Amino acid sequence: MDGITTAETDSWKLSGRVFHSRLIVGTGKYRDLEQTAAAIEASGAEIVTVAVRRVNLSDASAPMLQDYVDPKRYTYLPNTAGCHTAKDAVRTLRLAREAGGWNLVKLEVLGPPPHLYPDMVATLEAAEALLADGFEVMVYCADDPVAAKRLEAMGCCAIMPLGAPIGSGLGIQNPAMLRMLIEQAEVPLLVDAGVGTASDAAIAMELGCTAVLLNSAIAHSPNPVLMARAMKQAVEAGRLAHLAGRMPRRMGADPSSPLAGLIR
Amino acid sequence: MTETIHLNGDPHPFIPGQTVADLLAALAIDANKIAVERNEAIVPRSLLAITRLAPGDALEIVHFIGGG
């Protein structure tokens, strides 16, 4: 396998579409829409998550996300953030489908603060309703191999376990569980939530994730545009390291310079 | 007392004969960037101009904003 060719032609598929970037970024928590656009550009992402909310009727002419993040250039992935029941999640994504015309969605049904942990009972119920309604469902979930397999069997097009709680920036707390989920997955497996800095994204990719989804790690950095670049490179580096394969660990040193030919 | 509809959770005057498209125009909202739900059912874009509002209707008008 030619390493350079592999890196340049590396791509992944999601519901029939081919993507080259393995970084999906959120569009929330930025200072303003200009900063949102600049950070997304720097991240190299091809897919962005978006939320569905009421229009501010007192100022309907205010600039909208679409004016800064062009839906023709980026694949919008509407989410169900803030939904705590299957019914709310389904209602929200039906509105998203009408607003944008997209079937590809990110389902997340969360339990209460402070953990906002995936509510898997409600998630399974919502996934069933959405799949029956023709949606292509990327699903945020616990790092639970039984639930993940069930979601995959139901027809979800991507399984997206957390690495740590949403917005926590705690990094990949569960590498062993993620590795097990990756090994059993037959659809794209993404880490969604928990990444805090570039090395976390690289770890996720080295483990063998298809891609990484993150928002706060870029948006809450003091310099979001620079962190977006860092994340782009970290995801690429982690992916290449995964493809290349790591050296075996050994207990003890192994000199890198030859011992032969030493002066005496 | 005048009749009302509920618009994004708040009362809003009901105007007899007004369609959803008329309402959006009155609010200066670009119909291409939003979605409308009426009494918990989607109003498809193709039907906005022929869907007449009724007193007591509950409308949700939503769009995409930044989110993770």
* pLDDT tens-digit readout, A26-52: 999 999 999 999 999 999 999 999 999
Q: Does A65 touch chain B (CB under 8 A)?
A: yes
8-state DSSP, A247: P
For the residues A123-151, what does the mean pLDDT come to?
A: 95
Nearest to B8 among A57, A81, A96 (CB): A57
Least confidently predicted of A118-127, A183-192, B28-37: B28-37
End-to-end CA distance of chain B, in Å? 44
Both structure tokens of A104: 């590809």
Q: Is a pLDDT exceeding 80 seen at residue A263?
A: yes
pLDDT value at A166 more than 80: yes
Does the CB of A98 have a partner CB in chain B at under 8 Å? yes
pLDDT more than 90, % of chain A: 80
Cis peptide before A114 (omega within 30 of 0): yes
Nearest-angstrom CA–CA distance, A84 and A74: 27
User: Among A13, A72, A87, A106, which one carries the catalytic annotation?
Assistant: A106
Residue carrying structure tokens 């707390």: A173
Q: Which pLDDT band holds residue A58 (cuts at 50, 70, 90)?
A: confident
Contact between A52 and A95 under an 8 Å Cβ cutoff? The reply is yes
Instruction: Please name the residues between 12 and 51 in chain B that touch chain A, using a CB distance below 8 Å.
Output: 27-29, 33-37, 40, 42, 44-45
User: Which residues in chain B are closer than 8 Å to A52, comparing Cβ atoms?
Assistant: 35, 62-65
Q: Which residue from A96, A49, A57 is spatially nearest to A77, judged by alpha carbons?
A: A49
| The pLDDT value given to residue A108 | 94
Mean local confidence (pLDDT), A189-203: 97
| Residue A34 vs residues A28, A60, A213, B14: alpha-carbon distances, Å | 12, 19, 21, 38
Give the per-residue pLDDT at A60: 75
pLDDT of residue B2: 76
Is the pLDDT at A8 greater than 70? The verdict is no
Q: Which two tokens stand for residue B23?
A: 């309402």
Position A5 scores a pLDDT of: 55
Contact status of A135 with chain B (Cβ, < 8 Å): no
> What pLDDT score does A192 carry?
95
> In degrees, to the nearest 5, what angle opens at C-alpha A67 toward C-alphas B31 and A26?
105
The reported pLDDT for the residue numbered A57 is: 86
B67/A167 Cβ within 8 A: no
A62-112 pLDDT per residue, tens: 888 989 999 999 999 999 988 888 888 889 999 999 998 789 999 999 999
Rg of chain B taking only CA atoms, in angstroms: 12
| Residue closest to A44 by CA, chosen among A236, A207, A249 | A236
Distance CA A194, CA A171 (A): 5
How many CB atoms are closer than 10 A to CB A4?
Answer: 7
Most confident of A5-9, A217-221, A257-261, B30-34: A217-221
- The average pLDDT across A225-236 equals 97
Distances (CA, A) of A256 to A243, A247, A253, A263: 23, 13, 9, 17
H-helix or E-strand spanning residue A78: strand A75-78
Dihedrals phi, psi of A43, to nearest 5 degrees: -75, -20
| Cα distance between residue B50 and residue B52, in whole Å | 6
- Classify residue A228 as exposed, middle or buried by CB count within 10 Å of its CB (0-12, 13-18, 19+): buried
How confident is the model over A169-179, as a mean pLDDT?
A: 96
Which residues of chain B have a CB within 8 Å of the CB of A26? 66-68
Cα B50 from chain centroid (whole Å): 12
Residue A29 annotated among the catalytic residues of the structure: no
User: Above pLDDT 70, what percent of chain A?
Assistant: 97
- DSSP tag of B61: E
Measured between beta carbons, which residues in chain B are less than 8 angstroms from residue A30? 66
- Residue-wise pLDDT tens for chain B (68 aa)? 579 999 999 999 999 999 999 999 999 888 888 999 999 999 999 999 999 999 999 999 999 998 88
How many helices (DSSP H) and strands (DSSP E) are in chain A?
A: 10, 10
